């Protein structure tokens, strides 16, 4: 069963994930911005992670990504991360933003709006 916090689709979120290389961090960030799934992605290099994995204690360097988005984009953000991240079990954590400057919140909302599709250029068949 999948657990998910209840949030309104327009709520702002910060999604956090980690990757093993700078190249992968940049690729994921660009995909999220290009697809309007996020307004901004901050990349934090030189993260030192110590964790238990498959019975072993691991000690690795990673890149941490802080992804600013809206709750309505969470599923798409998670799918992009899971598709592009080479980790067997990618970290995908979301935190609801309880407060922000109004201008920054508006910028996130505007940056994650998807253009409306129009019927222009499409052929519409008419019934006789």
Is residue 56 one of the residues assigned to a domain? yes
Q: What pLDDT was estimated at residue 127?
A: 46
Is residue 105 one of the residues assigned to a domain? yes
Please, what's the b/e burial string for 1-34 (b: 16 or more CB within 10 A of its CB; e: otherwise)? eeeeeeeeeebbbbbebbbeeeebbeebbebbbe
pLDDT tens readout for residues 24-62: 999 999 999 999 999 999 999 999 999 999 999 999 999
What is the residue range of 74's domain? 12-111
Question: pLDDT band at 8, cuts 50/70/90?
Answer: confident
Is residue 92 one of the residues assigned to a domain? yes
pLDDT tens readout for residues 61-120: 999 999 999 999 999 999 999 999 999 999 999 999 999 999 999 999 999 998 877 666
Number of domains in the chain: 1
Q: What pLDDT was estimated at residue 43?
A: 98
Is residue 127 one of the residues assigned to a domain? no
> Looking at residue 105, which CATH number applies to its domain?
3.30.70.120
């Amino acid at each position: 069963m999948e657990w998910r916090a209840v949030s309104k689709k327009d709520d702002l979120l910060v999604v956090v994930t980690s990757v093993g290389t700078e190249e992968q961090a940049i690729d994921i960030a660009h995909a999220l911005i290009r697809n309007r799934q996020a307004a901004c992605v901050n990349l934090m290099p030189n993260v030192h992670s110590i964790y238990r994995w498959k019975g072993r204690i691991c000690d690795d360097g990673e890149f941490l990504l802080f992804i600013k988005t809206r709750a309505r984009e969470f599923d798409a953000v998670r799918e992009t991360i899971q598709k592009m991240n080479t980790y067997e079990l990618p970290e995908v954590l979301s935190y609801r933003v309880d407060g922000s400057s109004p201008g920054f919140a508006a910028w996130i909302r505007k940056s994650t709006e998807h253009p409306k599709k129009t019927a222009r250029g499409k052929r519409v068949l008419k019934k006789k």
